[in-house]
Amino acid sequence: MSEQFTHLGFARTYIYPALALFLIPVASLVFYSYVQSSTDQEFREANIGAIKADAQATPEEKANAIDFYEDVPLSSIMVSSDPSYIDLRNSLDKMLLAEQWSLIWAIRISWICILAGIAAFVMTAIAVVLSLQSQWLQYISLLFSWHSLRAFCTLEVIAQGLLVFSLSFWIPAFFFNVYILKLLLVFGLMAGGAICVVVAAIFKRPNNDFIVQGEIITRDMAPQLWYDLEQLSAKAQTAPPDHVVAGIDDNFFVTQLPLKVQGKDQQIQTLTGRSLFVSLSLLKKLPGQEADAVLLHELAHFSGDDTLYSQRIAPLLSRYDHFLSGLHEGGLSLPVFYFAVMFRALYEISLGRLSRQREFRADRLASEGTSPEDMAHALLRITAYSQYRGELEKEFFEAEEVHEQVNLSERIDGGFLAYTRSFIDKHNLGELATAHPFDSHPPLSHRLESIGFRSTPDSLLGLLDDDSVGTWFQKIDAAETLEREQWDAYEQQFREFHEQVLAYRYIPSNEAEQELVEKFFPRVEHTAGKDRPVVFDFEKVTYEDWDGPIYYREIESISFETEWGVRLDIVVKRDGKNKTIKLPLSKSKPERQEVLETMQNYYARAASAIAYKEQASGPPEEIIPEGETFSME
């Protein structure tokens, strides 16, 4: 993809929609300016006609009066501070005055929205340019932009809501000489709703909990590990981490954000300060110097204040994203939403650029503390591990049978060495990147190049041919037990999730498949209309007033109806024809809700299974459709 095309795509996706910010104000300005011009003309003609018809005025008085109304429109009289104009304005009909003031303020609000929008675009451009310069400026620009833009966007929503409400009165009044109360109410409610949603989004704090599965490694559990970490920290010219957490994810990371750690007892403990997450599974694969390089890389993020600025920026981004959600849900606030999204997208470019610079710096410091070869080998080994694990997990997930056990860790340990021997040939290093929960990592080839590691595919073959247990893994007491316990819990969760997925794939063809589906979608009975039972199972719904059950595969559509009683109208296709079958619902809201939710869930499961089967045997379709939804309103 060319750079020019990329820029064009970005403009079409974000910048052009952001111009919708001006849609309502510009349209309002054009309309109200036209209305004002028309009322000025009517006022002028009415007064000139009255002057000409005045039999008592002299020709000179008539000429002077006509010249006055020719030169001074009503709109000027309304805003002039000239005493004579004020006296004339006070003599006008109160209804006319009210209409004129509404026009004047509508035009003023339109101009304010337009000029404020231009200023916001300029401010956004300046903030994004500044954010590219350094982490400090990135944080300051976001802090300033967050406070400025939320105020701007909220006021813009209020102003544009007022304009829309005003238009709902003026358009029918001006063109058809009527006003429609229902129209005023609808747009008034829409404007009020948008304002309420946006204001609520400002003050509601989102949930920023970051939970990791792992065990906190205390000094008593791994004294040698902590001692060596302190030595590495001194080499990286930073203080050692406050906490070390060991898990089985396929990455290492550091953070100063509050970290919630869920251990084997399922209890969650919150860590504050500087935390280092290490992967037991990777530490076992990394030889000593390679592990040193990886840990130095992570500690370099501490020394560069990367985690400090992430700690400051992350909550602001979270609140901004939550505010965006409010703008999107507000309806009339959508034009403002597109502008706010544009800033978020531009700021993401800044985040990505500085994030990559931070990774290059950390790689360089790590390679200087060990060697470019050690850092490069570690990056290759971690990337290969992540790729191999991902391929195995995909294989397990796509299986069509229930797994008696998910021996993922055993498969990785048994096959990783062989996989590394073909890894270089199979994968394009230019497209691979290591995983990370907070930062976007540059492609692997760029990282290798940045540390001065030059190689060819042939020279890389056999590079990872080392199956010894990493020395850092051995520095943790009972590391094997900790890793095994975490893998057991993960593999059990994986197995249970896979079973749930299979329940959405199967159209049971044997007892085992039916048993699995019924495990998640058992036969249930609820109360429908007339206090009669309605029974659901995985393939059909049964109601005693019907001639027979309705199979989900027959259903064409379902609608919730409230005329002539509350019911579901279920359209089924039988013998090539559509037939509507009614299911009366209980007058009790809880009982009614039970039926609606069960119908939705069971029908969605059946539709998903049918779509999955068709995908396997025919043209691709969505595996899990949206299904039918019901509203109690």
What confidence tens digit (pLDDT) does each residue in 124-141 have?
999 999 999 999 999 999
**What pLDDT is attached to residue 449?**
86
Q: How confident is the model at residue 472 (pLDDT cuts 50, 70, 90)?
A: very high
Q: Which two tokens stand for residue 387?
A: 């790729």
In the structure, what pLDDT confidence band is assigned to residue 445 with cuts at 50, 70 and 90? confident
pLDDT, position 45? 92
Residues in CB range of 523: below 8 A, 6 or more apart: 535, 536, 537
**Alpha-carbon dihedral angle through residues 355, 358, 363, 368, given to the nearest 10 degrees:** 170
pTM, rounded to two decimals? 0.81
Q: If residue 197 lies in a helix (H) or strand (E), which one and from where to where?
A: helix 181-203
Please determine, for residue 597, whether its predicted confidence score (pLDDT) is greater than 90: yes
CB atoms within 10 A of CB 547: 5
Count of Cβ atoms closer than 10 Å to residue 577 Cβ? 7
- For 508, list phi and psi in degrees, rounded to 5: -50, 130
Q: How many residues would you count in the chain?
A: 633
Between β-strands 243-247 and 275-279, what pairing exists: parallel, antiparallel or unpaired? parallel
Residue type, 458: D
> What gap in Å lies between CA 324 and CA 338, rounded to an integer?
9
The CA distance from 13 to 324, in Å, is 16
Q: Tell the residue number behind the tokens 């790590």, with chain if given.
A: 366
Report d(CA 171, CA 103) in Å as an integer: 12
Q: How far apart are CA 211 and CA 266, in angstroms?
A: 11
Q: What is the pLDDT of residues 502-514, one digit of tens each?
A: 999 999 999 999 9
Provide the 10 A C-beta neighbour count for residue 487: 21
Q: Are strands 275-279 and 268-271 parallel, antiparallel or unpaired?
A: unpaired
Q: List the one residue out of 352, 247, 354, 369 whose CA is nearest residue 299.
A: 369
Q: Take residue 521 and report the two structure tokens written for it.
A: 């979608």
pLDDT for 459: 64
Q: What is the Cα–Cα distance from 199 to 204, expressed in whole angstroms?
A: 9
Q: Is the pLDDT of residue 228 over 70?
A: yes
Question: Which CATH code, of 2.30.29.30, 3.30.9.10, 3.90.1150.10, 3.40.50.720, is assigned to 514-617?
Answer: 2.30.29.30
Residue 404 has pLDDT above 60, yes or no: yes
Give the helix/strand (H/E) hosting 320: helix 306-329
Look at residue 417 in the predicted model and tell me its pLDDT. Answer: 86
DSSP secondary structure code for residue 56 in this structure: S
> Beta strand pairing status for 275-279 and 253-255?
antiparallel
Instruction: Say which residue the tokens 């009210």 belong to.
Output: 98
Instruction: Examine the pLDDT at 467 and tell me if it is beyond 90.
Output: no
Mean pLDDT of 170-191: 89
Whether the pLDDT of residue 344 is over 60: the answer is yes
* Structure confidence at residue 516 as a pLDDT band (50, 70, 90): very high
Check: CB of residue 136 under 8 Å from CB of residue 309: yes
Cα 594 to Cα 404, 420, 522, 586: the distances in Å are 34, 53, 14, 10
pLDDT computed for residue 460 by the predictor: 66
CB 148 within 8 A of CB 154: no
Put the strands of the sheet holding 275-279 in their side by side order.
215-216, 243-247, 275-279, 253-255
Instruction: Name the token pair of 219.
Output: 């000094």
Q: Which of 348, 307, 344 is nearest to 325 (CA)?
A: 344
pLDDT > 90 in the chain, percent:
62
Confidence of residue 209 (pLDDT cuts 50, 70, 90): confident
At 494, which helix (H) or strand (E)? helix 479-505
pLDDT for position 461? 63
Mean pLDDT of the chain: 88
pLDDT of 355 strictly over 80: yes
106-117 pLDDT, tens digit per residue, is 999 999 999 999
277 conformational bin, left if phi > 0, alpha if psi -120 to 50, beta if neither = beta
Can you give the pLDDT at residue 207? 78
The alpha-helical segments, DSSP class H, found in 399-478 are 408-426, 444-450, 457-460, 471-474
> How is 462-481 classified by DSSP, letter by letter?
TTT---PPPHHHHTSTTHHH
- Greater confidence (563 vs 398) lies with 398
The pair of three-digit structure tokens given for residue 333, joined into one six-digit string: 């606030």
Q: Residue 247: helix, strand or coil by DSSP?
A: strand
